[in-house]
Amino acid sequence: MPDKMKLDELGEEWIIRHLARKFSTDNPRVTTAIGDDTSVSTQMGSMSLLATTDTLTEGVHFRQGLTTPKLLGAKALSISLSDIAAMGGWPLFLLVSLSLPPKTEKRFLDQLYSGIRSRAKQYGVGLAGGNLSRSSEISITTTVVGEAPKSDVVYRKGARAGDIIYVTGEPGEAALGLTELERTGLAEARRGPLRASVMRHLDPEPRLDAGRALAKEKLATAMIDVSDGVLLDLRRLCAQSGVGAAIEVGKLPLSAGLERYRDGGGRWASLALSGGEDYELLFTVRPKNAGRIEKLSKKLALRMTAIGRVTKGAKVCALGPDNRPLTIKKEGFLHF
C-alpha cells in the first residue's frame, strides 16, 4: 500500500492485520499478541497473565450530553473487563490514563472516578494508578491486567467445523439504545419505553461470570466479545480459527425492544447482526455439550442462544428464513 494512503482509505481491518504482522513478537514470554481480545503473556507458574487496553474518545465513542461522567467511567472499565471475560479470565488490576481539557470541571473528574471506582469494586479490580494529562478532547484509556489458569484460557482460534455458535444476551440492544438516545436525548431516553436498550448502550455489563464458567468447564472452544457487531466479530473469530460460519437470522435472540421492529422490515436483523457495543460473549461449543450450556445459562440466569454453526471453508454468512444468505450493507462498527 502506498505510504501516503490515509487510514480511512486503508480501513480498520487492513490496518489491524498490517500491525499484527509488524507486531509479531520474539519475546518468549508473550505468547499471544494481536489477534485475541487480550494479549496473553508472562506465564507465572501455572497462570497466564492477560492484558488489554481500550480508549474512549469524546465525539467518537461518546458525547457529553448523551451520557453522564459516572456512566462513562463505569463503561470505560467495563469494556476492558469484557475483553478479560472473553479470554475466560478474571481481572486483577486497572490503570487509567486520562486526557482532559484544562477547563474540565472538578465535578466531571470526581464523577468519572466514582463510576470507575464502583465498577472496580463490583468486580474486585484493584485500582493501580495511572496518568493524567492535558488535551483538547476528553480521552480515557483503561488498561486491565488479569489472569487465568494456563489450561483454561479460551482463544479465538479453537473453533472447529460442526461447533455450535452461541451468543449471550440480546446483541443489537446497545445499537438500538444509541439510536433512541440520539433521537430523544438522555433524560427522555432513560425513562422511555426503550430504557433497557438505552442502558445496555450506556452501561454494558461485562460477562465475567459467564466467560469464567465457560472457560473453567472447558465448554467454549473459541470466544470473543461482541464489541463491533455479531457478524464482524464472528468473522474475526473464524479468521483466527481458520473456519467459516453460518448464522440463522431467525434464531437471533431479540430483546423486547428489538422485537418491536420484527415486522417493520429488516431493521431488527440489521441491528442484531451489526449493532456494536453490546459486549456480549460470542462463543463456539462442541455439539455434545449443548445440554451443559443450557444448564449453565439457567444457573447464571443469562440467556445463551445457539444462533448457527461453524462450517468448513472461510465463508461467514447469515441465512434468512428461506435459508438463503442475506446481503448485509453495513457490517459493524469500524474506526477507519
User: How far is Cα 227 from Cα 37, in angstroms, rounded to an integer?
Assistant: 10
Distances (CA, A) of 181 to 78, 92, 175, 281: 20, 33, 10, 24
Query: CB of residue 77 vs its own copies: minimum separation in angstroms?
Result: 13
Kindly state whether residue 329 participates in binding its own copies, applying the rule CB under 8 A: no
Q: Does residue 213 touch its own copies according to CB under 8 A?
A: no
Interaction between residue 10 and its own copies (CB under 8 A)? yes
Tell me: does residue 302 bind its own copies (CB under 8 A). no
Is 148 within 8 Å of 89 (Cβ atoms)?
A: yes
Question: Which residues from 142-171 bind its own copies, rule CB under 8 A?
Answer: 143, 145, 147
Nearer to its own copies, 47 or 306 (CB): 47
Residue with smaller CB distance to its own copies, 63 or 183: 63
Residue 140 has a CB neighbour count (10 Å cut-off) of 24
Quick one: 98 or 164, whose CB is closer to its own copies? 98
Residue from the set 67, 82, 141, 311 that interacts with its own copies by CB under 8 A: 141
Q: Which stretch binds its own copies (CB under 8 A): 11-19, 228-236, 237-245, 321-329?
A: 11-19
Please report whether residue 132 would count as binding its own copies according to CB under 8 A.
yes
User: What residues from 83 to 112 belong to the interface with its own copies (CB under 8 A)?
Assistant: 92-93, 95-97, 99-107, 109-110
Smaller CB separation from its own copies, 76 or 249: 76
Number of residues that bind its own copies (CB under 8 A): 80
Whose Cβ is closer to its own copies: residue 92's or residue 302's? 92
Q: How far apart are CA 178 and CA 201, in angstroms?
A: 6
The DSSP code sequence of 195-249 is HHHHHHHHSPPP-HHHHHHHHHTT-EEEEEEESS-HHHHHHHHHHHHT-EEEEEG
The count of residues in the chain is: 336
Is 127 a binder of its own copies (CB under 8 A)? Answer: yes
| Footprint (CB under 8 A) of its own copies, residues 49-78 | 49, 51-55, 57, 59-61
Stretch that binds its own copies, among 8-16, 240-248, 271-279, 317-325 (CB under 8 A): 8-16
* Residue 182 in the binding site for its own copies (CB under 8 A): no
Give the rounded distance of the alpha carbon of 95 from its chain centre.
19
Nine-digit cell string for 250: 431467525
Give kind and range of the element (H or E) at residue 280: strand 280-285
Rule CB under 8 A: say whether 46 interacts with its own copies.
no
Residue 122 binds its own copies (CB under 8 A)? no
Least distance from its own copies to the Cβ atom of residue 83, Å: 10
DSSP 3-state of 33 = coil
- The SS3 assignment for 319 reads strand
Q: Exposure string (b/e) for 36-48, b if CB count within 10 Å is 16 or more?
A: bbbbbbbeeeeeb
Which residue, 221, 24, 39, 53, is CA-closest to 147? 39
Q: Is 118 in the site for its own copies (CB under 8 A)?
A: no
DSSP notation for 69-87: HHHHHHHHHHHHHHHHHHT
Distance CA 316, CA 168 (A): 19
Among 81, 84, 85, 125, binds its own copies (CB under 8 A): 125
Using CB under 8 A, pick the residue from 41, 240, 270, 305 that binds its own copies: 41
- Give the residue with the Cβ less far from its own copies, 112 or 165: 112
Examine residue 290 and tell whether it contacts its own copies (CB under 8 A): no
